């Protein structure tokens, strides 16, 4: 396909974990991919540096409607993937107003620009399993009621409903992907999975001794980001717009994640309070994982487990990477990364 015939995809959040995998997959499909990036004093492109020759980047900010409108009006994209957000749950307790503006109202700004200047654009909204919060049922599906438990999740609830509203009110092709946690070697370092895989690697190299975590009993349905961005694209190729859950159908605790990660490197774990010496090490030099209250949240989401049967039936999406394989992929990467 020549570049003139290529479909145009505009991606917000292209410098993030999901944005980088999605950009790779869209380029492989011969899309013209344009990423919206915000200004920063230092480069934020490390996840997409390998793609910079093939991508176009334009400046924009989810908090600034004019920049979004100009981009959409000029590009008239065939598809718009809104992956940009203040995406950290704990951070949202410290910056609730900012999170509401960027993660919530930012979506309205995009939808208004699409409605006004590019109504043929197919719109993907990065909705989240955090919407289920204090879960009403197990597993959670497209019909499970929401009970958000953080300013982040409340902002995502606004974003979810405004996306549905613009679909119903104005006939836009607008989809919510309700994605359960998905991880990768490109995951931000402040999320628990990457924090653990990096710590395991650094401890193996002797650069770190202990690991301090919050709630070890929190349970998540963790999948691989590469599988999930494939699902985003499939949603925008559907005959009719809809909302879809993407999940693996398995849930594991933070504790289990640690056990697999450290076992991968032949490190023995010692949980806090059991036979720890004055250096913070367990018997025979085993590695200490300590619980630190600073990582606890004012209100927690205890258990997430998704039911992705609707998307499998309707679009044929299934995850390919399992839990243990995901943990090992991250640890193996970080062993090299921290060497």
User: What residue ranges bind ligand NAP (CB under 6 A)?
Assistant: 12-13, 15-19, 38, 40, 44, 61-63, 83-87, 102, 126, 128, 179, 181-182, 188
Contacts of 110 (CB under 8 A, 6+ apart): 12, 62, 68, 72, 80, 82, 123
Nearest distance from C-beta of residue 116 to ligand GDD, angstroms: 29
- Shortest reach from residue 309's CB to ligand GDD, in Å: 19
**CB under 5 to 8 A by kind: which of ligand NAP, ligand GDD, none does 16 bind?**
ligand NAP
- C-alpha distances in Å from residue 238, one per residue of 20, 22, 191, 320: 23, 17, 32, 21
Quick one: 77 or 226, whose CB is closer to ligand GDD? 226
Write down the least CB distance from residue 98 to ligand NAP, Å: 8
195 binds, options ligand NAP, ligand GDD, none, Cβ within 5 to 8 A by partner type = ligand GDD
* Least distance CB 226 / ligand NAP (angstroms): 12
- Taking the complex as a whole, the smallest distance from the CB of residue 5 to ligand NAP amounts, in Å, to 28
CA distance 30 to 241: 23
Residue 83 touches which of ligand GDD, ligand NAP, none (CB < 5 to 8 A by kind)? ligand NAP
Among ligand NAP, ligand GDD, none, what binds residue 24 when CB lies within 5 to 8 Å by partner kind? none
* Closest separation in Å from C-beta 211 to ligand GDD: 9
Q: What are the residues binding ligand GDD (CB under 6 A)? A: 87, 89-90, 128-130, 180-181, 190-193, 195, 213-215, 218, 220, 254, 295, 297, 300-301, 304
For the CB of residue 135, give the shortest distance to ligand NAP in the complex, in Å.
Answer: 15
Q: Give the nearer residue to ligand NAP in terms of CB position, either 15 or 270.
A: 15
Ordered DSSP codes for 134-195:
S-SSSSB-TTSPP---SHHHHHHHHHHHHHHHHHHHH---EEEEEEPPEE-TTS-TTSHHHH
The one of ligand NAP, ligand GDD, none whose footprint includes residue 295, by CB under 5 to 8 A per kind, is ligand GDD
Which is nearer to ligand GDD, 9 or 305 (by Cβ)? Answer: 305
Least distance (Å) between residue 323 CB and ligand GDD: 14
- Alpha-helix residue ranges (DSSP H) falling in the chain: 17-28, 65-75, 89-94, 96-99, 106-117, 151-170, 192-205, 225-236, 254-264, 309-315, 323-337
From the list ligand NAP, ligand GDD, none, partner contacted by residue 305 (C-beta under 5 to 8 A by kind) = none
| Both tokens assigned to 88 | 């950290």
How far apart, in whole angstroms, are the C-alpha atoms of residue 2 and residue 4? Answer: 5
Give the Cα separation of 160 and 184 in Å (integer).
Answer: 25
DSSP 232-245: HHHHHTSSS--EEE
CB-wise, 223 or 241, nearer to ligand NAP?
Answer: 223
Would you say 193 and 329 are in contact if contact means Cβ atoms under 8 Å apart?
no
- SS3 of residue 210 by DSSP: strand
* DSSP, res 217: T
- Which residues have CB under 8 Å from 158's CB, separation 6+? 100, 104, 105, 107, 108
Give me the phi and psi of 234, to 5 degrees please: -60, -35
The interface partner of residue 297, options being ligand NAP, ligand GDD, none and the CB cut-off 5 to 8 Å by kind, is: ligand GDD
């Amino acid at each position: 396909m020549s570049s003139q015939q290529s479909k145009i995809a505009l991606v917000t959040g292209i410098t993030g974990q999901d944005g980088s995998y999605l950009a790779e997959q869209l380029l492989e499909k011969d899309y013209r991919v344009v990423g919206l990036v915000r200004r920063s004093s230092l480069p934020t492109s490390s996840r997409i540096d390998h793609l910079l020759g093939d991508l176009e980047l334009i400046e924009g900010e989810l908090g600034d409607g004019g920049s979004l409108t100009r981009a959409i009006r000029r590009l008239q994209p065939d598809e718009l993937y809104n992956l940009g957000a203040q995406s950290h749950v704990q951070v949202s307790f410290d910056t609730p107003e900012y999170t509401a503006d960027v993660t919530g109202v930012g979506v309205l700004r995009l939808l208004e620009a699409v409605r006004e200047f590019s109504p043929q654009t197919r719109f993907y909204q990065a909705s989240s399993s955090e919407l289920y919060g204090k879960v009403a049922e197990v597993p959670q599906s497209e019909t499970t009621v929401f009970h958000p438990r953080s300013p982040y999740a409340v902002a995502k609830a606004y974003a979810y409903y405004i996306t549905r509203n613009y679909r119903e009110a104005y006939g836009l092709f607008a989809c919510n992907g309700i994605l359960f946690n998905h991880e990768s070697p490109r995951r931000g370092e402040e999320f628990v999975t990457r924090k653990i895989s990096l710590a395991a690697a650094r401890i193996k190299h002797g650069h770190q001794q202990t690991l301090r975590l919050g709630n070890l009993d929190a349970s998540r349905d963790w999948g691989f980001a590469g599988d999930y961005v494939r699902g985003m694209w499939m949603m925008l190729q559907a005959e009719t717009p809809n909302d879809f859950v993407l999940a693996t159908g398995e849930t594991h605790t933070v504790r289990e994640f640690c056990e697999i990660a450290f076992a991968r490197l032949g490190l023995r774990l010692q949980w806090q309070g059991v036979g720890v010496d004055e250096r913070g090490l367990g018997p025979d030099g085993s590695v200490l994982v300590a619980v630190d209250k600073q990582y606890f949240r004012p209100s927690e989401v205890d258990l997430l487990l998704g039911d992705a049967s609707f998307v499998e039936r309707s679009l044929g999406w299934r995850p390919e990477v399992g839990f243990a394989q995901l943990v090992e992929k991250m640890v193996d990467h970080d062993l090299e990364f921290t060497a």
